[in-house]
Structure 1
Amino acid sequence: MIALAALLPSGVAAAGPDRDGGGGQAEGHRRHARDPALQTLADRVVADPQPNPGAFLYARDGARVRSGAAGLADRSTGAPMDPDLRFRAGSITKTFTATVVLQLVAEHRLRLDDTVQHLLPDQVRADNALSGAPITVRQLLNHTSGLYDYLEGLLPRFRGLDQYWPRDQLIGIGLAEARYFPAPGTRFRYSNTNYLLLDLIVERVTDRDLRTNLERRIFKPLGLRDTSYPLADTTIDGPHAHGYADVSQLLPHVPDPTRYDVTSLSPSEAGASGALVTTAADTARFYRALLRGRLLPPAVLRRMLDDTVRTTHAPRPAVGYGLGVYVYATDCGPAYGHGGSAPGYLTFALNSRDGDHQLVAHTNWNPLVETGLDKPFWAAFQEGYCARPSTT
Structure 2
Amino acid sequence: MLALGVAAPTAAIPNAGAASRPVKLGSVQRAMEALAKNDGVVGAIGEVYVDGKRVGRGSAGSRLLDGKGGGIPSNARYRIGSQTKLMTATVVLQLVEEGKLELDDKLSDVLPETARQDLVDRADEITIRQLIQHTSGIPDFIASGKFDVFDFTTKYSLTDLVKASRSVPRPVEVGQYFYSTTNYILLSMIIEKVTGHDRAAEFARRLFVPLGMDHTYLATKVGDGIKGPHGHGYIPDSEGKPRDVDRLNATSWGAEGAISTARDISAFHRAFNQGKLLPANLRNVISQRPAAASQQQQQPPALCGGKPELRPVAGSVPGAFTVTFSSPDGRLQFAVSTTLKIPNHDAMTAVSPDINKAAEAVFCPGT
Q: TM-score, normalised by structure 2?
A: 0.82
3-state DSSP of counterpart to 2:129 = helix
Distance in 2 of aligned mates of 1:155 and 1:315: 32
Unaligned runs of 5+ in 2: 1-24
* Alpha-carbon distance in structure 1 between the residues aligned to 2:274 and 2:141: 34
User: What does residue 66 of structure 1 align with?
Assistant: 56
Equivalent AA in structure 1 for residue 325 of structure 2: L
Aligned to 2:358: 384
Gaps of 5+ in 1: 1-34, 318-327
Partner of 1:17: none
Q: Distance in 1 between matches of 2:297 and 2:28?
A: 25
Structure 1 length as normaliser, TM-score? Answer: 0.77
Are 1:266 and 2:249 an aligned pair?
Answer: yes
Alpha-carbon distance, 1:67 to partner: 2.1
**Per-residue deviation at 1:240?**
2.0
Mapped partners of 1:344, 1:314: distance in 2: 27
Equivalent residue for 1:54? 43
Per-residue deviation, 1:121: 1.3
4+ runs of 1 displaced by more than 6 Å?
Answer: 312-315
* Residue of structure 1 in register with 2:31 after alignment: 41
Match for residue 98 of structure 1?
A: 89
3-state SS, counterpart of residue 84 of structure 2: helix
User: Which residue of 246, 266, 274 maps to 1:292?
Assistant: 274
* Residue in structure 2 matched with residue 210 of structure 1 by the alignment: 199
Q: What SS is found at the alignment partner of 2:324? A: strand
Which structure 2 residues correspond to residues 130-209 of structure 1 after superposition, within 5 A?
Answer: 130-131=121-122, 134-155=125-146, 160-182=151-173, 184-185=174-175, 187-209=176-198
Identity between Structure 1 and Structure 2 (%): 30
Post-superposition shift, 1:374? 4.5
Aligned-CA RMSD value: 2.7
Say whether the 8 Å CA contact 1:202–1:210 is kept in structure 2. yes
Contact 1:346-1:366 at 8 Å conserved across structures: no
- Note the alpha carbon deviations across 1:90-113, whole angstroms, 9 max, x for none: 111001111100100111111111
CA distance in 2 between counterparts of 1:201 and 1:390 reads 45
Q: Does the CA contact (< 8 Å) of 2:225 and 2:247 recur in 1?
A: yes
Counterparts in 2 of 1:175 and 1:315: CA distance versus 1, 3 Å: farther
Deviations 1:101-151 (A, max 9, x none): 010011111111111111111111585543366111111111111110001
Q: Distance in 1 between matches of 2:153 and 2:294?
A: 33
SS at match of 2:109: helix
What SS does the corresponding residue of 2:340 show, helix, strand or coil? coil
Q: Does the 8 Å contact 1:341/1:347 carry over to 2?
A: yes
Question: Which has the larger displacement, 37-46 or 66-75?
Answer: 37-46
| Paired positions, count | 334
Q: Is the 8 A contact 1:188 1:311 kept in 2?
A: no
Residues 361 and 157 (structure 1 numbering): CA distance in 2 closer, same or farther, change over 3 Å?
closer
Which residue identity lines up with residue 295 of structure 1 in the other structure? L
CA distance in 2, matches of 1:269, 1:314: 29
Which of 296, 301, 323 aligns to 1:348? It is 323
Decide whether aligned partners of structure 1 residues 388 and 241 sit closer, same or farther in structure 2, where only a CA change above 3 A counts: same
* Whole-Å separation in 1 of the counterparts to 2:298 and 2:230: 29
Report the equivalent of 1:234. 224
Counterpart of 2:260 (choices 278, 282, 287) is: 278
What SS does the corresponding residue of 1:222 show, helix, strand or coil?
coil
Q: Encode CA deviations 1:280-317: one digit per residue, 9 max, x unaligned.
A: 11000111011112111343234445x34446887854
Q: Output the amino acid matched with 1:332.
A: G
What SS does the aligned partner of 2:202 have? helix
The answer as to whether partners of 2:80 and 2:258 remain within 8 angstroms in 1 is: yes
SS in structure 1 of the partner of residue 130 of structure 2 = helix
Contact 1:150 1:171 (C-alpha < 8 Å) held by counterparts: yes
Secondary structure at the counterpart of residue 281 of structure 2:
helix
Provide the C-alpha distance between the structure 1 equivalents of 2:299 and 2:234, rounded to a whole number of angstroms: 25
Contact 2:316 2:344 (8 Å CA) reproduced: no
Kindly provide the amino acid, as one letter, of the partner of residue 93 in structure 2. L
CA distance, structure 1, for counterparts of residue 264 and residue 349 of structure 2: 24
- Which structure is richer in relative contact order (CA contacts within 8 A, separation 6 or more)? 2
